[in-house]
Every structure is written in structure tokens, then in C-alpha cells.
């Protein structure tokens, strides 16, 4: 009798409930633990918004001022929290406005689910009002996408969307739902997805490959590690730290890998790539074993491929088989999750220090310090530099801030000079290089981690691409700190024009509005700094503010970011001036 009662209770618990498709979408979000989503309503998604209104005590919808802002905010949320970011928009232009953020999330491996409304299914293909084939458009820049035309598909598709977005190498997923499917009623039942046939998100670690890797590392005289975001995405920071400390290997980072270990760690030798540090770039072409962990050998990291680490044995730790041998030929490929791979590697490694090899990095750091770093952070010139602004932010935030940077000179300066004491502290647009990323991404990051100081570092050009998101700050009162480094130029393009186009500054000089007045128009406290003696107090005031704060710092107009690997050059041909 007792067994029958238990069975009856179980059946009641799993009983299907008849609801509409639009309510099902919201219920699926709740089942996946979504508490914040970013979006912009419109006709084809209005039924879902109407249903969302009834659940506003459980899901906080953030009305961004542009759909692109919704995707970047969802990215910022995902990057700092490790959760799946969610963005929602209507059909047609609402959906197409998501594409830049989706493409950005795809190349930077950011877990995101985007939901778009679509015209009723009987109008598909008829060029109906605000109809766009968003599935076709988004296919090249999504990890997976699907169009729902029948409400009964919703639970399975949504569960699959979240699973695919966050599993293995993360990425963006788009779910397009026709308006009639939103109104249809069906028997709702939700089961979380735990696997998809033919999709193996995490390859099994091959112990024999680990043994080969360990042998190469143990026998190396000049080993060097380049790590990327895979360490952070795999939550492998502690395992990574244990490996480098035991083996004593100098370790450099890609911009998305920054903050996996603290900037001050003695084995952290700086950033690689076009504007990376001098020592790790030069010594990439001197090391005898190059160990790549969770990075994809992007062209900005490798420079001229046929002159990249040709003298070295290459070991590649990677979760995505498609990245193996895609750009750089590897000698040993270790497929698998970084956390598992590094944990298994650790006991196979011999303790080492490589002191002489470390001294080479220290020697070259001193060269860079004298030629570049000293002038960036302790300038003798009258005008302010971007580097000294970052230095002051480090001082006032004690290196605890999450830095969300846009794209350009300020991005490279932020990556080079920000102090990162915590993981997930460097949030930027890496692979796509999306101007306009930082302001909305900072909003999402602060909402995901309200206990952290979040500072957006933006150039005057990129700032104006998504400046309307100040309205989102006004409405939500999210206390992000915004620093615009204003040189009245599209600085990175201008730098190339100065160095390679005989200073023909074609369409790069900016005539800017009064940024402080604009900020105040959105009721955001604001200040402009033009002199060095004003900087420390202004940054202190910004960090101390419990509300959002806007700080404009007018910096030197024609400063260049060095070091620099010229396009098409080898990484060892890096320029210091």
C-alpha cells in the first residue's frame, strides 16, 4: 500500500501541465536557473514578454537600449559568472541586431542563449513584415541554432540549447520561435538535457599523450607556457598554478587568458601577441618546448606562422579537436578538459626551477621597462598617458577590480597594465574585436557580480557606438564605473596610419560631444580630467562612489602602444618604438 502511495506521488510530481508556448519559454528559463535576461521587446516576441511580466519576481528582465547591447550585457554576465547569459529580441531587425554579439560570443567561446521571436509559421518565406531568416543568418556564428514552429518542441529544444551553450567549449545558441507556437497550448514537461547523440563535448583524456607531454616537459631546457581562456572556462586555475609551480615554467597569457593567475605571480611573464610583452614574444622563438593550454593560436598571438616557434616541440592542451593543427602543427596534442588534463599531468612532472631560463625573461623585461613601460606609467611628458590612468586605477582598487575593456589602444593598455588578483577579471572582446562591447558588457558583469568593483575602460570611438546604454544604467541604477580615455582619435587605426601610412590620418580624427554633460543628462555623476594633478583624486572619487560614475580622462592624442609586432612579421621581430 505504501509503495502505491509513493508511486502516485511520483506520478503527480511528473504530471504534465497544459500551458502555452510563451509560458513554456519562461518556465524553461526558470528550470535552467536564469535569474537575469537582457532584451528588447517587439511584435513577434510580445507573447513571451507578456508571460515574463507575470514572473518578474523570479526573472529580472533588463531593458537595454539596443539589441546589440543585450548580447554584450549577456556576454559580460556570462564571462564573470561562468553561467549562461541570456538575450531576447523580436524578429527582423531585432534579431539581426543580435548578430554582432553572437559572433563575438562564438569566437570568444562565451556561453549564451539568444531567443528571438518570428512571424507565424504560415507566413514563413513570404517576406512578411519584420521577417528575416535569422536561422540562416546566424548559422555561421552560432554553436547551434533551431527554429521552433510547434510549441511541443519548446522544452526539448530549450534544454538542448542550454546544454550545448555551456558544455565542452562554450558558445552561443539561438532559438527562434514563431508567434503561433508561442500561443499554442500543449502538455508541458521539462527534462534537463544531459547529452546529445553524436555530440561529445569533452574528449576523453589519453593517458599515453599525457605521458608524452610530460616526457617532453621534463627533458626541456627552455620550456614556455602560453595559456588562454580555456584555463578559466575549465575552472582549472588551481591545477594550472600547481603545474607551473612544480615544473618552474615561465608562463605567458593571451588577452582572454589574463587573470587565471595573479599578475604578480613570479612565473607570470606577461602577455603574448601583437602588443604583448617583449620577453615572451621574443623568447617564443627561443624556447625548446612550447606548451599551449586552452588557446587557439590566433594570428595576433603567432604573427608570421612560418616563423613561429619553429625550433620548439609544441604541446597543445585543448578541449576542441578542431583547434589541433589548425594553425600551428603540434608534436603532442592532449585533448580533454583543462582541469582534468592538468590534474593528471601534475604527478608526471619533475620538480624544476629553470633559473637561467627565467633570467632571460627578466633581462628582456628590463629592456622593455626602460624603453616602454617606464614612459607609459611614469611619464615625463606634460600630457596624460593611458598607462598612468590604469596605474592609478590599480592603486585605488587595490587590483581587485574587474576590468571590462573595449577595443583599441586603451584595450591593449588595459590588458598590459591592469593588475589582476582574481580570475575572471579581464573581460574584453578578443577574437572579433568589437568596438562598443565594453559599456553593455560592464553592465552585465556588475549585475552578475554585484560584490565586485567593475570598471569599464573605453576609447572615445567605441564609447559612442553603444553610448545609449547609459539609459540602461539610468533605469537599473547598476553602479558600474566608466572611464573614457579620450584622445580624440580612433587611436589604434591612427597608430597604424602613423607607422605605416606616412601619417595620413584618413577618417580617424574625432570631433566629440561633451561626454560629461551627456552622462549628467542620464543622472550619472561625471568628471573630466585634463591634468596629471587631478587624476588621483578623480579616480579615488570614482572608486569610492556607491553609484555609477563616469570619468573622462583626456590623454595624449598621438601616443602609440608599444611593443608592437607589425602585421606579417614574426613575433621575435617585435618593435619597442
Catalytic residues: 67, 129-130, 179, 492
Distance between CA 176 and CA 89 in Å, rounded? Answer: 10
Cα→Cα distances 349→173, 267, 292, 344, 501, Å: 39, 16, 16, 10, 50
Burial of 353 (0-12, 13-18, 19+ CB in 10 A): exposed
- 158 is written with which cell numbers? 530549450
Distance between CA 373 and CA 369 in Å, rounded? Answer: 4
- DSSP conformation class of 234: T
Residue 69: phi and psi, rounded to 5, are -60, -35
- 439 is written with which cell numbers? 559599456
Distance between CA 108 and CA 117 in Å, rounded? Answer: 25
Backbone CA torsion sign across 203, 207, 208, 210: positive
End-to-end CA distance of the chain: 85
The position carrying cell 542563449 is: 113
The position carrying cell 627565467 is: 358
386 close to 409: Cβ distance less than 8 angstroms: yes
366 close to 229: Cβ distance less than 8 angstroms: no
188 close to 19: Cβ distance less than 8 angstroms: yes
124 close to 178: Cβ distance less than 8 angstroms: yes
For the chain, the 3-state helix, strand and coil shares in percent, each to the nearest 5, are: 45, 20, 40
Distance between CA 133 and CA 121 in Å, rounded? Answer: 12
Distance between CA 303 and CA 571 in Å, rounded? Answer: 5
Cross-strand bridge partners of residue 105? none
Distance between CA 550 and CA 484 in Å, rounded? Answer: 8
Give CA angle at 210 (204, 212), nearest 5°: 135
Residue 252: phi and psi, rounded to 5, are -115, 160
Of 487, 438, 488, residue with least CA distance to 462? 438
Helix axes 386-397, 532-544, angle to 10 degrees: 40
Amino acid at each position: 500500500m505504501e509503495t502505491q502511495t509513493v508511486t502516485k506521488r511520483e506520478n503527480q510530481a511528473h504530471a504534465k501541465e497544459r500551458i502555452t508556448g510563451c509560458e513554456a519559454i519562461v518556465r524553461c528559463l526558470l528550470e535552467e536557473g536564469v535569474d537575469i535576461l537582457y532584451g528588447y521587446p517587439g511584435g513577434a516576441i510580445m507573447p513571451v514578454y507578456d508571460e515574463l511580466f507575470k514572473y518578474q519576481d523570479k526573472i529580472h528582465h533588463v531593458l537595454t537600449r539596443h539589441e546589440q547591447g543585450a548580447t554584450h550585457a549577456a556576454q559580460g554576465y556570462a564571462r564573470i559568472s561562468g553561467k549562461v547569459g541570456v538575450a531576447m529580441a523580436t524578429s527582423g531587425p531585432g534579431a539581426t541586431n543580435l548578430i554582432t554579439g553572437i559572433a563575438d560570443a562564438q569566437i570568444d567561446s562565451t556561453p549564451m542563449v539568444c531567443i528571438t521571436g518570428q512571424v507565424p509559421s504560415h507566413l514563413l518565406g513570404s517576406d512578411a513584415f519584420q521577417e528575416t531568416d535569422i536561422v540562416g543568418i546566424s548559422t555561421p556564428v552560432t554553436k547551434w541554432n533551431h527554429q521552433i514552429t510547434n510549441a511541443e518542441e519548446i522544452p526539448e529544444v530549450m534544454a538542448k540549447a542550454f546544454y550545448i551553450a555551456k558544455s565542452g567549449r562554450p558558445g552561443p545558441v539561438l532559438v527562434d520561435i514563431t508567434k503561433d507556437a508561442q500561443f499554442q497550448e500543449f502538455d508541458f514537461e521539462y527534462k534537463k538535457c544531459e547529452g546529445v547523440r553524436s555530440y561529445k563535448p569533452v574528449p576523453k583524456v589519453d593517458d599515453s599523450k599525457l605521458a608524452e607531454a610530460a616526457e617532453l616537459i621534463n627533458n626541456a631546457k627552455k620550456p614556455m607556457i602560453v595559456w588562454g581562456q580555456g584555463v578559466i572556462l575549465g575552472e582549472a586555475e588551481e591545477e594550472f598554478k600547481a603545474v607551473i609551480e612544480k615544473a618552474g615554467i615561465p608562463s605567458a597569457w593571451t588577452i582572454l587568458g589574463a587573470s587565471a593567475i595573479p599578475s604578480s605571480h613570479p612565473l607570470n611573464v606577461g602577455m603574448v601577441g601583437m602588443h604583448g610583452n617583449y620577453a615572451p614574444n621574443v623568447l617564443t622563438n627561443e624556447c625548446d618546448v612550447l606548451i599551449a593550454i586552452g588557446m587557439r593560436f590566433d594570428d595576433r598571438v603567432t604573427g608570421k606562422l612560418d616563423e613561429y616557434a619553429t625550433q620548439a616541440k609544441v604541446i597543445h592542451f585543448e578541449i576542441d579537436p578542431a583547434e589541433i593543427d589548425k594553425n600551428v602543427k603540434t608534436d603532442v596534442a592532449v585533448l580533454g578538459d583543462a582541469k582534468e588534463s592538468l590534474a593528471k599531468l601534475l604527478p608526471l612532472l619533475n620538480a624544476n626551477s629553470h633559473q637561467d631560463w627565467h633570467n632571460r625573461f627578466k633581462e628582456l623585461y628590463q629592456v622593455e621597462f626602460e624603453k616602454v613601460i617606464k614612459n607609459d606609467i611614469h611619464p615625463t611628458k606634460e600630457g596624460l598617458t593611458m598607462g598612468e590612468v590604469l596605474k592609478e586605477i590599480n592603486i585605488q582598487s587595490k587590483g581587485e577590480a574587474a576590468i571590462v575593456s573595449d577595443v583599441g589602444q586603451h584595450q591593449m593598455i588595459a590588458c598590459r597594465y591592469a593588475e589582476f588578483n582574481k580570475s575572471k577579471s579581464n573581460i574584453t572582446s578578443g577574437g572579433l574585436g568589437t568596438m562598443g562591447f565594453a559599456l553593455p558588457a560592464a553592465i552585465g558583469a556588475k549585475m552578475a557580480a554585484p560584490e565586485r568593483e567593475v570598471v569599464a575602460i573605453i576609447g572615445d570611438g567605441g564609447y559612442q557606438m553603444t553610448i545609449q546604454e547609459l539609459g540602461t544604467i539610468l533605469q537599473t541604477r547598476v553602479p558600474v564605473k566608466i572611464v573614457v580615455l579620450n584622445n580624440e582619435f580612433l587611436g589604434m587605426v591612427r597608430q597604424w596610419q602613423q607607422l605605416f601610412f606616412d601619417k595620413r590620418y584618413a577618417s580617424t580624427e574625432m570631433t566629440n560631444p561633451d561626454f560629461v554633460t551627456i552622462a549628467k543628462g542620464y543622472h550619472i555623476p561625471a568628471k573630466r580630467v585634463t591634468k596629471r594633478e587631478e587624476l588621483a583624486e578623480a579616480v579615488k572619487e570614482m572608486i569610492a562612489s556607491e553609484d555609477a560614475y563616469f570619468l573622462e580622462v583626456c590623454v595624449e592624442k598621438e601616443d602609440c602602444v608599444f611593443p608592437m609586432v607589425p602585421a606579417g612579421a614574426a613575433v621575435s621581430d617585435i618593435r619597442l618604438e
